[in-house]
Amino acid sequence: MQSRVSDIDSHLTIPPTDWYQSLTAAGLLNPEVHGPARYWLQVEGSFTRALQKQCSHSFHVEVRREGFATPTQEEARRLRIPHRQHAWIREVSLCGDNQPWVLARTVIPLKCLEGEGRRLLHLGNRPLGAYLFTSPHWQRGPLETGLCRPVIPGQPELARRSLFSGHNSSLLVGEYLLPALFQRNTL
Ligand SMILES: C=C(O[C@@H]1C=C(C(=O)O)C=CC1O)C(=O)O
């Protein structure tokens, strides 16, 4: 997988994460899910749109790493694909007013890349949400809540994830909330 992360941002990585089927279940272990992050863990519709509404000047997507790689065993299980099968993996920062607010990791199995799905290989800095929410055949499944196990300071602690199902395949989108998103006091 190709990395395009600048030195300034290189500490911003995605830590190991445990996933729960509901906010309530995750909240029993970490009550912080009911704090300022709660809105973001539950917001429906396009996450990109929700973030754009919070920006004073600008929103942009920065590709951190992208390419064919092996998903984790847990991701492969969630996607019901063979464990060692390669997938297109896209990791981005979602930046509001020029600051990374969210890290996102999307695992796109080979089946999703057939036909018009090939467009997913060429998104570049265009948000994935714009593709998923304008194409009629993608349906979002239930949101899971993630409790991260940060290994270095500044890494995300809370996350959300869902499957998007298309004709005969699904992709997995994880969104990891950075503290900068809550330190703004606007919600
Ligand atoms: C899934 C969405 O797409 C957003 C954009 C992403 C990208 O460009 O890789 C990844 C996760 C997002 O939150 C969304 O807007 O809801």
pLDDT of residue 71: 97
pLDDT of residue 137: 87
Does ligand 1 have an atom closer than 6 angstroms to the CB of 48? yes
Does ligand 1 have an atom closer than 6 angstroms to the CB of 93? no
User: DSSP secondary-structure letter at 126?
Assistant: S
Contacts 24+ apart (CB under 8 A), 41-45: 41/143, 41/145, 41/158, 41/160, 41/177, 42/143, 42/160, 45/133
CA of 127 to the centre of ligand 1 (A): 6
45: tokens are 């519709």
ipTM over 0.90: yes
Domain ranges of the chain: 2-6+14-181
pLDDT of residue 154: 85
Instruction: Give average pLDDT by consecutive 10-residue segment, the chain, 187 residues.
Output: 67 93 98 96 95 95 97 97 96 96 98 94 96 90 97 92 94 96 69
168: tokens are 């005969």
- What dihedral angle (degrees, nearest 10) is formed by the CA atoms of 44, 48, 51, 53? -90
For residue 88, list its beta bridge partners: 68, 108
| 2-6+14-181: CATH architecture | 3-Layer(aba) Sandwich (3.40)
Alpha-carbon distances of 77 from 32, 83, 168, 170, 172, rounded to whole Å: 28, 7, 16, 12, 11
Q: Which residue among 47, 60, 61, 66 has the greatest number of ligand 1 atoms within 8 angstroms of its CB, and so is best to mutate? A: 47
68: tokens are 């064919």
